[in-house]
Structure 1
Amino acid sequence: MVEAFVLGQTPTLTRTEVAAAAGVPMEVTEDLWHHLGFPHAGEDEIAFTESDVEALRMTQELIRLGVLSEDRQAALVRTWGRSYARLAEWQTSLLAEVARERGGDEVEDLVALSAQVLPIVESLQDYVWRRHLVSAARRMLTVADASAVPLAVGFLDIVGYTARSKRLTDKELVDWVEAFEDTCSDVVVEHGGRVIKYLGDGVFFTFEDVSAAARTALELASLGDDRDSPFPHVRAGISYGDVVLRLGDVFGPTVNIAARLTTLARPSSVVIDENAAAALEDVDGFRVEKMRRTSVKGYSRLQAFRLRSRSD
């Protein structure tokens, strides 16, 4: 009932029939479904609709246009699959929770609620995607002639995550992590940065402006010291240098160094690398303290600096 409503059609086709109708080789079809993270369907299982045929045709057109070339295809489709799978899990859980609260037949209430909500959500998702597309295009055009772009990269970890998570129920843990992610997102975006990904017990973010990244890390680190705030104790590492941008992710030694610096930070503190320290040396509001060189995974005698606010 729910499946037919959401898909807009009742499944009538097997995977072999979908591939044949779309004119796409079966091995290509299976690769795409695998990368998208869809469950495996048996050869004779009726699990697909005409919309699956159309989706394959559109995918084949992207391949023909060179957008989904062989070397890009797997990575791009995997990114789609992971992103939409997580979004769908969250949306389904939210709708199911609201349906249960109504106290009637859960399936009927879920379908009725979906009929009201899904068109709105679909429009909002399209809007949000287009706004992010504009932002991404602006960033890409700014660095169109460069193989790498300089960014401040930050990692933030929850201190004592494992121990605390063992004391919480599943719902309490989800609520706690979601509140942590919401706060991090609000502070990062407020200062002009971008959250690249959440890591369960941490967050990975980037800034074009090193001082904005520093203010963000110090602000988040200070929240854990507020006894009236549910925000946990955290520690942060920031590095500054060239990175490679790919499919919304960020790669390179600068990213690796930021992650390693986080392991050197004490609770409620921020540690930065030499490049970030040099950029912040004469910036009002910050105090940079040189630390002893330390060997971490992949880097021998890494030079780190403790970052403090001038007001501390």
Structure 2
Amino acid sequence: MSESDSIDLGDSYEEVESFLLGGPPTLTRLEVAERAGVPMELATELWRLLGFVQVTDETVAFTASDVQALRLAVDLMELDILSPDSQAALVRTWGRSFARLAEWQATLLTDLAIEAKDPGVGLAEIATEVVPRVEALQSYVWRRHLASTANRLLATASAGEPEQTMAVCFVDIVGYTTQSKSLEEAELVEWIERFEQAATTAVIDRGGRVIKTIGDEILFTTDEASTAAEIALALTARGRDSDDLFPDVRAGIAYGAVVNRLGDVFGATVNIASRLTSVARPGTVVVDRGAHAVLTGEDAPDADEAPSDEAATADGDTGPEDSRESTATPDAGPEADNQDQDDSPSYQFRRIRRVSVKGYSRLEAWRLRPTKD
């Protein structure tokens, strides 16, 4: 569609807005705060954290649903669900998450409306038919994820552990900048979506958890280092296959203590995994000392033996690889004697002599390969 053929859906917006907000806007923000019994300063801060566009005191842009939302927020605070320390971070996370979701959904609805015989009518009809179903489905998905995550986190909390020990892996596309310049917009979107879909499927199918995707990169965690290794090796193998449309990728894995917060992960283990990814060669997987120890059946290093935090230049040079190559089969535990040892994953490690990246001047690292690679 050319610019001259563009369709103005503004006339139908008021009808859709009224449907989405439970009625046409009739209140100013001052009236909303007053009816909710919430100080104007608190209401403004909550709206700002949620990412809502700020309006003047005289602008009529609110409905009864906004009053109810403020009351619910106050209820949560009084129940100590939203403490002063966690309030800003949690509300900001809500705002960011739903803003991204709404952007994608609104784009989809608009595209469908434009394709209708009467775009204005089409948008209103699509909204009334689709939105309630999407809302119900979102609630179902949220509850399912909440049940699964609560089960995992409550188990950790009952053990009294402030941190969790897990594997953290970054996988990113090699040559993304060059490709993004050579592809048309639609081709680039398709390329990225293919990567995200395939990578997410590989992680979920093996019991991992996707923390986030960042354009050309995916961050995921697993409880076991061997699971992260399996996923990373599978994805890099696909990238090396010239007949596979999956892009060429590289990966970095670190194993150790991780702090979970609001669906994200933090700590030195996460930083190390990211740094190792940045120095990994195309189509390869690089692991840190913690992952290497677990995969070879050795004891993982103690926290006080963590790599130095001294600042170093991120020169991307991993240095010459050690000529010594080792092969290891992870310890299968006490049940190993009753299992076929050939079913246990085995790996080859090639020691990288030096890894000097930002924040870490003496990282120990190994390039990981399956024994049958």
TM-score tier, shorter chain, comes to: over 0.9
**What's the CA shift string for 1:201-259, capped at 9, x where partnerless?**
10110000111110100111111122232211111000000111111111110000000
Answer yes or no: is the 8 Å Cα contact 1:2–1:107 preserved in 2. Answer: no
Q: Aligned-pair distance for 1:96?
A: 1.8
1:122 matched to 2:144: no
Q: What is the aligned partner in structure 1 of residue 64 from structure 2? A: 50
Q: Aligned-pair distance for 1:106?
A: 1.9
Segment of structure 1 superposing worse, 6-15 or 276-285? 276-285
Q: Aligned-pair distance for 1:99?
A: 2.2
1:90 matched to 2:104: yes
Q: What is the aligned partner in structure 1 of residue 310 from structure 2? A: none
Q: Aligned-pair distance for 1:114?
A: 1.7
**What's the CA shift string for 1:94-132, capped at 9, x where partnerless?**
222222233x22232122112111111111111110111
Segment of structure 1 superposing worse, 54-63 or 228-237? 228-237
1:263 matched to 2:324: no
- Of the three residues 183, 190, 201, the one matched with 1:186 is 201
Q: Aligned-pair distance for 1:175?
A: 2.1
Q: What is the aligned partner in structure 1 of residue 7 from structure 2? A: none
1:307 matched to 2:321: no
* TM score, norm. by length of structure 2: 0.81
Using the alignment, how far apart are the partners of 1:264 and 1:297 within structure 2? 11
1:32 matched to 2:53: no
Question: Within 5 Å, which residues of 2 pair with 1:103-122?
Answer: 104-122=117-135
Q: What is the aligned partner in structure 2 of residue 135 from structure 1? A: 148
1:243 matched to 2:258: yes
1:172 matched to 2:187: yes
Using the alignment, how far apart are the partners of 2:193 and 2:53 within structure 1? 27
Using the alignment, how far apart are the partners of 1:200 and 1:58 within structure 2? 35
Question: Within 5 Å, which residues of 2 pair with 1:174-253?
Answer: 174-253=189-268
Answer yes or no: is the 8 Å Cα contact 1:210–1:276 preserved in 2. Answer: yes
Q: Aligned-pair distance for 1:41?
A: 1.1
1:11 matched to 2:25: yes
Runs of 4 or more consecutive aligned structure 1 residues displaced over 4 Å after TM superposition = none
Q: What is the aligned partner in structure 1 of residue 85 from structure 2? A: 71
SS at match of 1:308: strand
Using the alignment, how far apart are the partners of 2:44 and 2:185 within structure 1? 35
Using the alignment, how far apart are the partners of 1:234 and 1:277 within structure 2? 21
**Structure 2: gaps spanning 5 or more residues:** 1-14, 297-328, 331-344
Segment of structure 1 superposing worse, 7-16 or 164-173? 164-173
Identity of aligned residues (%): 54
Segment of structure 1 superposing worse, 11-20 or 105-114? 105-114
SS at match of 2:253: strand
Using the alignment, how far apart are the partners of 2:198 and 2:361 within structure 1? 34
- CA-atom RMSD in angstroms: 1.1
Using the alignment, how far apart are the partners of 1:52 and 1:92 within structure 2? 20
Q: Aligned-pair distance for 1:285?
A: 2.7
**Greater RCO, 1 or 2 (C-alpha within 8 Å, sep 6+):** 1
Answer yes or no: is the 8 Å Cα contact 1:35–1:78 preserved in 2. Answer: yes
Answer yes or no: is the 8 Å Cα contact 1:151–1:243 preserved in 2. Answer: yes
SS at match of 1:293: strand
Segment of structure 1 superposing worse, 60-69 or 222-231? 222-231
Q: What is the aligned partner in structure 1 of residue 357 from structure 2? A: 296
Q: Aligned-pair distance for 1:180?
A: 1.3
Using the alignment, how far apart are the partners of 1:89 and 1:175 within structure 2? 18
1:286 matched to 2:353: no
Segment of structure 1 superposing worse, 79-88 or 133-142? 133-142
SS at match of 2:211: strand
Q: What is the aligned partner in structure 1 of residue 292 from structure 2? A: 277
**Structure 1: gaps spanning 5 or more residues:** none
